[in-house]
Amino acid sequence: MSVLSFPRIFFQGFMCWDIPTGNNNDQFPTYAYDKAALNWPYLKQFGIDEKNFRTTFPNWFTSEQAYHPNPNDPNETKYSPPAEWNFFGTNACYFVQYENIADGIIRKSRITGGATAYKTPVSQDALFGKPIALIGDLFGSPDNARPARLVDNNPASSYSSQIYFNSMSFGDGQTGISGPCYRRMHSRFIGTLRNPNLPSAGHVSVTWQTCFPKDGLVINPGTSTLLQTLQNMIASGQAKGVMVRFNTYLNLYFQNGYFNSSPRKPHTLTDQPAIYKDGLATGNQLVNPCYSRVLGVIGPWYNDEIVSVPEGRFLATNAALPFKQSPIAHPIQLTASVIKGGPPPDLAAPAAVAGPNINVPPAQPTGAVQLGVAFAEIDYTKGIVSLDALNTFPESFWQGDKVDLGTVTLAVQDGQGPPTTIATLAYTDYNQPSYETNGGIIDIKFDPDPNGPAQKLKNGTLVVTAVAATSPPTVVKALVEKPWSANTDDRGIYLNEGESKTFDVSVFFKGKRASNAKLMIAKYAPDLTSGYVGPPVLAIAANASQIVNVTNGQTQTVSTDGTNPIQTNVTVVDVDANGVAHVNITAASAGLPVLMFYPFQAGTTLPQPQQEFDTQAIPSGVSFYTTIRVLSFDDDFVDRFINIWNSPPAPAKPYDPANAWNFVYNNILYLYDMIFPVMLRFVPLGDRQRVEAAIDQVLSLIAPSYFAESTLAMPITRDLSEGKRTVLQLWGGLVKKNYPPQPISKPAVPVA
């Protein structure tokens, strides 16, 4: 039952996302992500090409440029620097621990509560009030900041984010838990209308999960009842480790000075060009992170549970819910040091300071909300439904108050008749105090009599209904259970040219492992004929490049759904006795495919794949899939570099260090020099002498061992192909030997 069982330990606070925005532009297609290169055909219209980019690109990239946000209205024009809102970002992400006593600001992330059994909250515990931390790898002095890193498998997507980290800790050395990373975290079940009033990605919410097996896990219970109970469960073998699940939501941009100590406080995109130009000229770079609320739960991890995906009966977003909009005042004036949604006031000391000590954008009301997904675990013996609603009920605005949807009903659909009510939830069951006090979990009691609701719960389909604010009012099925689900811990896969991989997909029916099942896999990819900004992700046509091939199972060609169906290849893979499908894939061409999973019962009709992935009708948040980055096919770069060094075309001379450097910079390093200026703080990638002086560090950080999981991998974006890496390693070998005037040869295997 994961974190839905007991003991439960709750935490809340804030997350910092210091995302670099040079490679994930929403309006200007500057980055050709299938090639890991600048998009030269697009840039040439602005007078930027391969010969002059070092002087022309940075100025253009950091200046306001016009764009047309509405394809149906070419006269609507807006302006933005193509570098967007955080050009100097570092990919860092971490739980915020910030206070400014003078300004009455406290933004800390803390353990805030717990429970040992149903309706048995813990009022006091030695763990309460202690900090939580998300920690990256150590490089250099142990006093240096060690943040985790947020990396998108597909930088143009909203559905492929990953958190790389070294370890997590909850509490301290006297009373707390800490453990090394076992599997990285992935953005799960993205809610696209969690907050109906915040603009941009402010309305998005995401679920994250990871687990820590007992080997390597450190629990110092001290006098904490919660920790002692958890430790006893692990020691007895009842649990195999600790699970951590949290939700990030209510995202705010332009918060310098409010969540950090930055003296410079840009408030909109129009403030950024001058800051960017100054940073490039002087090295005085200014990061401008996004900040989210965090609410999470720590609990036991059981033997049959996968690591990074919540399990249980899956209630998917089904229909929008019109609601009665309350007036929202602006600007937001805070009159207390503790923002609602952070740790409770008794954990904070600063006196209240009146004033607008936060930058909240004006509301953009939508008039409708959607419930995010929920997971249900059912104890038929005790008659309890534990509902994970971490990512379910929306807020009205950034203060964190939940939208009042009135009475919400959990019911079960059994046959064609009306749903049978299991329980009703009043607003007080899902409002902000309840949400934060109980870690987003709602425990619902029902009659365990096997001849009553219990039987319908086992056999029927769960639904959550609410009354929409329509005239006349209508009952809406806001959430509907998807009986079949399929998920994998291998959400972000990277493949090089010719590389293969096997990964596992766990298949469930009503939250339990399903052995009598099959898994159909369909392939999708961004339609690059539409460009690099917002292309639809379509089923790959059967006669097109497949990007990846599934090499086991039975492959056949079928029609997609839709008014204009296409022919696409799908592969059906068997599910073993443990409910697991083992999937073999191999790279076919560079690209960013998505593999969608369609589980179904063995012996039944093959599902029909949808034509497009991540649509308004079927968003990625209710789909089952993995994302893959097939890195650019650059194996020929190795031969080209060797030829440049050994026998360049006339009139160039062999063994010329300048030729070698020019090849390395103009084909590899230039990209990161242009769109990731954070490197200027460490090694300016356009400065040959500086790069050569740091060659030992460069070679260490580009090694495959770092690529796999390290928060220090270079480039952190993980778009460096094996071919390009080998060139850098060959060049680094020349640098370390002071460019000996002798030929080099192609390594038999990639340089480790």
Q: Which residues pair with 342 in a beta bridge?
A: 340
Closest CA to 36 of 23, 50, 49: 23
Q: What pLDDT score was predicted for residue 100?
A: 87
Distance CA 155, CA 184 (A): 17
Distance CA 249, CA 397 (A): 11
Average pLDDT over residues 622-638: 97
The token pair at 516 is 């009598």
Average pLDDT over residues 363-377: 89
| Dihedral sign for Cα atoms in the order 231, 233, 237, 239 | negative
What ranges make up the beta strands (E) of 3-121? 8-18, 31-32, 37-38, 65-67, 78-80, 92-95, 97-100, 105-108, 110-117, 120-121
Single pTM value for the model: 0.96
Average pLDDT over residues 691-720: 96
Q: What pLDDT score was predicted for residue 537?
A: 96
Average pLDDT over residues 146-170: 96
Residue 334 has pLDDT above 70, yes or no: no
Backbone angles phi, psi at 59, to 5 degrees: -65, -45
In this structure, are residues 601 and 517 in contact, taking their beta carbons and an 8 Å threshold?
Answer: yes
Average pLDDT over residues 664-687: 96
Q: What pLDDT score was predicted for residue 410?
A: 97
Residue 48 has pLDDT above 50, yes or no: yes
Residue 352 has pLDDT above 70, yes or no: no
Distance CA 746, CA 752 (A): 14
Residue 752 has pLDDT above 50, yes or no: no
Distance CA 681, CA 225 (A): 46
Average pLDDT over residues 178-197: 92
Average pLDDT over residues 441-448: 94
The HSE-up count of residue 306 (CA atoms within 13 Å, CB side) is 26
* Predicted confidence (pLDDT) per residue in 445-487, tens digit: 998 888 888 899 999 999 999 999 888 999 999 999 999 999 9
Question: Which whole-number Å values give the CA distances from 278 to 81, 283, 310, in the listed order?
Answer: 14, 8, 45
Q: What pLDDT score was predicted for residue 572?
A: 98
* Predicted confidence (pLDDT) per residue in 199-226, tens digit: 778 889 999 999 999 999 999 999 999 9
Percent of the residues in the chain that have a pLDDT greater than 90, as a whole number? 80
* Between 175 and 71, residue with greater pLDDT: 175
Q: What pLDDT score was predicted for residue 413?
A: 93
Percent of the residues in the chain that have a pLDDT greater than 70, as a whole number? 95
Q: List the chain domain ranges.
A: 2-20+88-310+326-481, 31-80, 484-630, 636-736
Burial of 146 (0-12, 13-18, 19+ CB in 10 A): buried
The token pair at 608 is 């029909």
CB burial of 725-752 (b: ≥16 within 10 Å; e: otherwise) equals bbbbbbbbebbeeebeeeebeeeeeebe
The token pair at 666 is 């103009």
Average pLDDT over residues 139-161: 88
Q: What pLDDT score was predicted for residue 151?
A: 97
Residue 342 has pLDDT above 50, yes or no: yes
Residue 326 has pLDDT above 90, yes or no: no
* Predicted confidence (pLDDT) per residue in 637-648, tens digit: 999 999 999 999
Q: What pLDDT score was predicted for residue 276?
A: 97
Distance CA 631, CA 499 (A): 10
Q: What pLDDT score was predicted for residue 39?
A: 96
* Between 73 and 423, residue with greater pLDDT: 423
CB atoms within 10 A of CB 645: 23
Q: What pLDDT score was predicted for residue 749?
A: 66
Alpha helix ranges (H) inside 116-235: 225-235
Average confidence score pLDDT of the chain: 93
Closest CA to 4 of 334, 254, 379, 559: 379
Please name the residues in contact with 59: beta carbons below 8 A apart, sequence gap of 6 or more: 277
The token pair at 87 is 């050009």
Closest CA to 152 of 268, 316, 27, 31: 31
Closest CA to 62 of 76, 48, 72: 48
Distance CA 523, CA 543 (A): 13
CB atoms within 10 A of CB 395: 24
Q: What pLDDT score was predicted for residue 346?
A: 57
Q: What pLDDT score was predicted for residue 314?
A: 98
Q: Which residues pair with 16 in a beta bridge?
A: 94, 291
CB atoms within 10 A of CB 474: 12
Residue 355 has pLDDT above 80, yes or no: no
Q: Which of 5-9, 11-15, 68-72 has the lowest mean pLDDT?
A: 68-72
What ranges make up the beta strands (E) of 19-100? 31-32, 37-38, 65-67, 78-80, 92-95, 97-100
What ranges make up the beta strands (E) of 510-589? 512-513, 517-526, 537-539, 548-550, 554-559, 567-574, 580-587
What ranges make up the beta strands (E) of 327-438? 368-369, 374-379, 384-388, 408-413, 420-425
CATH number for region 484-630: 2.60.40.10
Distance CA 425, CA 434 (A): 12
Closest CA to 251 of 86, 23, 388: 86
* Predicted confidence (pLDDT) per residue in 576-620, tens digit: 999 999 999 999 999 999 999 999 999 999 999 999 999 988 999
